[in-house]
Structures are given as structure tokens and as C-alpha cells.
Structure 1
Amino acid sequence: GVGGPARFLAATYACEVTGVDLSEPFVEAADYLTARTGQAAKVSFKTGSALALPFDDGGFDVVLLQHVAMNIAARPLLYREIRRMLKPGGKFVTFDVVLNGGDPLYPVPWAKTPAESFLLTAAATCEAIEAAGFRMLVQRDDTAEAKTWFAALRASGPPPSLNLGVVMGPGFADFAANLGRNLMEGRLGILTAVFETVPAE
């Protein structure tokens, strides 16, 4: 995206953060915003695919995946690539949309049609991550919190003129409304989970 979580983590934990996005315009926007907030010494961004990350093996202590996996069909490859990035004992944190029950309504922020969406249930997501060489430490269903957030957003009235729709395009309001409806109706859920690497045998 435009790097908000990366800047938050760097400011909160005084760590160095590298963000990756497939879209070069998003990376350019993230670089611009990071420079404007004075965080360029701690936060950087690269254009790249999550299935072929532009980094050497074992270079990171932690990998965070936020609202990405539902875009990717090749989940085993995705999670193996994340495993490759981590040092021994490294942690992998995922915060993502998952299937919960029933067919989602489209379009949503990551897909205009079902053919472009690669959602899994929370259980199937965790199983795929563990198969890539991880052990689960924490799993939490954050669907209720997401519903509360959407309800508060809806009650606050129209969004300010500067919102994610500036980057996502004119259909963003409909995409976001469908995501909220899918959560409220129990079609989708939000998974938060933390894993650690398992030593190779």
C-alpha cells in the first residue's frame, strides 16, 4: 500500500522496516509520505512480488503480511517465500481477510470479481502457513473488532476528501461498502495470527 503500517511500526518500536508492494505507484507514494514524515532513515520500500521477494535469505527478524494473501492463488509459494526471508527463530505475523461463511459480495477492495479473489478460511490459511515451516504461537479472530470499526466509520458520515480512495480510484467507496457488508453478514472474517519458524530437519 502507501506504507502506513511500516511507518507506524518504525515509530512505535524504533525498528527498521522495509515495505514491498507489486505496484510501483504505491511504492512511489509510500516513499513520498515517508520522506514527508521524516522517517526515510528507518523506513524504505521496494517494488516486488511477494512470490519472489527481492532480498537474500534470512535477512529479517519479522515479516508482517497485511491484507495481501487474498490476492494470491499460490499460497504455498507465498508462505515458503516468507519463510525464506526470516532468520532462525524469526516471527511471521499475518492480518488478513478470510472466508467465514457464504459467498462474498463483489466488488471488494482487492477484487472486482470472484475470479480475482483467492480467499481461504482461517483454518486453511493457518494450515498452509504451518506447512511452509512455521509453528503457530497466537491465533485470534478479529472479525468483531472489524465490524465495530466499520460501524463507527459508517456512523461518522462521509469520509474526508483525503482517504484511501485517492489511491484506489473512484470505485473505492463501493468496494469498501461491500467489504463492510460481507463482514457484517458473516461472509468474511479477519484473522490475526503469529507464527515462528521451525528449524529445518
Structure 2
Amino acid sequence: MPEQISTHYGRGMNLTDRIANDLQSSGFDLSNLRPSDFEPIDEFHFRGRAATVQLLEQMKLAPGNHVLDIGSGLGGVARTIAEEANASVVGVDLTPEFCEAANAISNWVDLGDKTDFLQGDATDLPFPDNQFDGAVTVHVAMNIPNKLAMYQEAHRVLKPGARFGIYDIVQGEGGDVLYPAPWATDASISQLATPAEMSNYLLQAGFRILHEEDSTAESFNWLKERATQPKPTRSLPVTTQLLFGDTAAEMTQNQLLGLRERRMLTYCFICEA
């Protein structure tokens, strides 16, 4: 399963070079970029950077805190946290190509000193106990069969009383998810849980749930607007099509239908270790 997931996202491409070449060929200067410039690809979860900021507001972080991003992808969430909370963030992701590109992008936007990205497994984190002041995971659990192990590991590496923010896609009551989706081309690597199952895993792992929220309607409206709005005259050429190729448009339509029919939900949990 881990190899299938890594292959799905990595797709055998040199992402760092592809992103750099696309930017330079479109006239962008790699030394004059901002973290928010990369939102179309490095915060391609529902509601983008705004959702990350909303999650961050409930994390109660202090400047200089040490934060873990589990399933960090291309690093957008980690960079937003580093930038907005003045925190030091370590990201862990199963896909080596994502980690390499995430470190490169952080260096391009002058956040390399506040972020670091490592290849690793969310169910077996390479850190000692009680190391982090906070942790987040954004649109990650959909690919993880053993969610309890993932949350137990998060609890283990957090300091007592630290907060854990989860923003994920979960199984809705409206029927089976439609594929392809960004996290899976078919059901073989899709591991959605219901909100009730997610709550149970978090409680079993030792967390206290402080807040939970269903944002499915907001996610549908956001994606609908994003899919129909005209493309800006000058925009970064780096989009989700770089990751998913010709299936990106089909994935968008499947997600719109899935959210509208509540086959899939977007859900947030704020927990305390």
C-alpha cells in the first residue's frame, strides 16, 4: 500500500525541475516568489490557504513553537504555519518527490530556515516522544488504512496539552465516492472513514476532541467558483494538472458531484493531547 500511494502522487517525475522549468519559462524569477504564489498546487486541499489559516487560528501556537505537519505534500500548509505563526515546522510525507520539491519551494520563498521536509511514514514517525508543540494533518488520512496508528503516533510525539488539527476528507452518507479523485484513481488506495469512525480513532489514540466541524457546503461552493472562474491574465503555470495530467478536470467534476451529493465530506477536528 505505501508504494502504491507514493507512486500515485510521485508518478516518476522530477517535480522540482518540472516546477522550476515551468516557472522560468513563463518569466517568473525563482528568487522573487511568495508562499501564497504556490497556493494552486501546494495548498490544493479544499478551500486552500484560507482553510489552513482557519485551522491555524484554533491551534493556539506561540512564536517559536515546533510544529509537525503529517503528510506535508509540497509544503504549503507548513509554509503558511511558519509564515503566519512564526513557528518552526517539520513536514513528513511518504512521497520523496514531494519532500524534495517542498524543500526547494521553501528555499525559493525564503522560508527554508523555518521549514524542513522529510520522507517518512505517518504510522511510524521518526521522532522521539513529546517533541512537538502542535501538529496538523490536512487531506492525508484518505490514503491510510491504519488511522488509529497514525493518530497514536501523533499523540506520542506531541507534548502533553499540545493541540492536533485535522482537516480531512471523510466518507459521507450519499453513496460511494466517484473516481478518479486526487487521492486515488480507483478504490484500491482510498481509505475513507466516516466522521464517527474518525472521532473514535482519535479518542482511542488518547486525544480529547475540543471541536469538530463539517465544512462540506463551503468546500463545494469554493470548488465550484474555482472551477468556473476565468484564468488570470498572468498566473503561475504550476497547477494541479502538473500532478494529475489530463485526469485533473475529471477529478474536479467527480469532487463537485461528490460534495453536492455528500458522498464525500470535508471535516475538521481540533484535539488536545
TM-score range for the pair, normalised by the shorter chain length:
over 0.9
Unaligned runs of 5+ in 1: none
Per-residue deviation, 1:169: 3.8
State the SS of the aligned residue for 1:171.
helix
Q: Which residue of 2 is the match for residue 179 of structure 1?
A: 255
Shifted more, 166-175 versus 110-119: the winner is: 166-175
Q: TM-score, normalised by structure 1?
A: 0.93
State the SS of the aligned residue for 2:150.
helix
Deviations 1:6-60 (A, max 9, x none): 1111100101111111111101110110000000111111110101111111110
Deviations 1:106-134 (A, max 9, x none): 11111111121110111111111111100
Q: Counting strand residues as a fraction of each chain, which structure ranks higher?
A: 1
Match for 1:120: what amino acid? Answer: A
Partners of 2:124 and 2:249 lie apart in 1 by: 32
Q: How does 1:11-160 map to 2 (within 5 A)?
A: 11-101=83-173, 102-157=175-230
Q: % of aligned pairs identical? A: 36
State the SS of the aligned residue for 1:73.
coil
Q: Which residue of 2 is the match for residue 164 of structure 1?
A: 240
Q: TM-score, normalised by structure 2?
A: 0.69
Contact 2:74–2:98 (CA under 8 A) maintained in structure 1: yes
Deviations 1:49-85 (A, max 9, x none): 1011111111101110100001000111111111111
Match for 1:11: what amino acid? Answer: E
RMSD: 1.4
Structure 1 residues 168, 49: closer, same or farther in 2, change over 3 A? farther
